[in-house]
Amino acid sequence: MTASPLVRVAILDDYQNVALKLADWSPLAGRAEITVFDDHLADADAVVRRLAPFEVLCVMRERTPLPRAVIERLPKLKLIVSTGARNASIDLKATLERGIPVATTGYDSTPTVEFSWALLMAAARHIPAENAAFRAGRWQESIGIDLAGKTLGLLGLGKIGSRMAGIAHAFGMKTIAWSENLTAERCAEFGTEPVAKQQLFARSDFLCIHLVLSKRSRGLVGAAELGLMKPTAWLINTSRGPIVQEDALIATLSEQRIAGAAVDVYDTEPLPPDHPLRKLPNLLATPHIGYVTERMYRTFYGDTVKNIVAWLDGMEFPQAALPS
């Protein structure tokens, strides 16, 4: 492949405006013209208008979806570099038909594991509410929940769920788990009791979701599952918003049928300012920052540079795996 002297590269959704600071982009000097966008566009037509001049798109996780309707309207597009090992919001069938390679980067689940525990512990000890009370001049308004002796339910016992189990044991918690293909051998490896799906929801004091979003997991947690939970239980979701049926979650929290939920992911991101989830007092919510750490960003953007250089040098990337 013969690259043009200056390939136009777009870095999308750099919310913190740090992409150029957290990686060495000098290998692209004289070879690429880089444009950074630190805002988010939700309208597909606006996305197409913005990205039409670019040959290379650098996308952060699922912040800007690239469905077929967008990809087919970007005739100059020649390469997509996505952070992480997978990106369900890119239509890989469309890129395959166009012959557009999709390169990915390194990824480490450690930030998400740590953040999941941060949410769980903040919920158990009412840290956001106590901090707000402290700043307002008040003192000691809540009673926390001991983790020791409680049951952590894990919806998924993969790379993240298994590490969650190990930390739970250090706190003196019992762990139970379910997923569609989970085996007793896998559970035994991590000291976790395999249970039926209904039992997972009924027995958990804290229920953490650690599944990949797929056709099978989308909408997996609905009104029936939430209805099985204890009134004192918390739901924690740092995986993907659509795994939980949003309307069912809002109804459950509005009617205070469980103690609360701590979530970092949503059906629509960024979440609209007037969204009902923003108004629920028993929801601890953060703006999808579970993976957002300096070390992770250095990996993402550093590998992005390497991928673009390799493409300019003629390297062929394997077609990314189609989602199941």
Quote the tokens at residue 111: 């930030």
For the stretch 203-253, pLDDT in tens is 999 999 999 999 999 999 999 999 999 999 999 999 999 999 999 999 999
Structural domains of the chain ordered from first start: 7-107+293-312 (3.40.50.720), 110-285 (3.40.50.720)
User: pLDDT-based confidence at 316, cuts 50/70/90?
Assistant: confident
Do residues 178 and 225 lie in contact, with contact meaning Cβ atoms separated by under 8 Å? no
Q: Which pair of tokens denotes residue 240? A: 């993907």
Coil/strand/helix, residue 220 = coil
| pLDDT for 131 | 98
Query: Which entry of 185, 240, 294, 295 is annotated as an active-site residue?
Result: 240
pLDDT over 90 for what percent of the chain?
94
Peptide bond just before 270 cis, omega within 30 deg: yes
d(CA 51, CA 70): 9
Distance separating the N- and C-terminal Cα atoms of the chain: 32
Residue 98 known to be catalytic: no
Decide if pLDDT at 2 tops 70: no
Q: What is the dihedral of CA 133, 135, 138, 142, to 10 degrees?
A: 30
Catalytic residue among 269, 275, 278, 316: 269
What's the rounded mean pLDDT across residues 274-300?
Answer: 97
Q: What is the rounded distance in angstroms from the CA atom of residue 203 to the CA atom of residue 177?
A: 10
Q: Is the pLDDT of residue 320 over 70?
A: no
Catalytic residue list contains 288? yes
pLDDT score for 62: 86
Full 3-state SS string of 78-127 = CEEEECCCCCCCECHHHHHHHCCCEEECCCCCHHHHHHHHHHHHHHHCCH
Residue (of 231, 225, 228, 227) closest to 211 by Cα position:
225
53-85 confidence digits (pLDDT tens) = 999 999 998 899 999 999 999 999 999 999 998
Cα(101)–Cα(82) distance, rounded to whole angstroms? 11
User: From the CB of residue 76, how many other CB atoms can be counted at a distance below 10 Å?
Assistant: 12
- Model confidence at 5: pLDDT above 80: no
Is there a catalytic annotation at residue 49? Answer: no
Residue 301's closest CA among 91, 5, 12, 51? 12
pLDDT at 1: 47
pLDDT number for residue 324: 45
Catalytic residue among 193, 257, 288, 295: 288
| 288-294 average pLDDT score | 97
C-beta neighbour count of 15 within 10 angstroms:
17
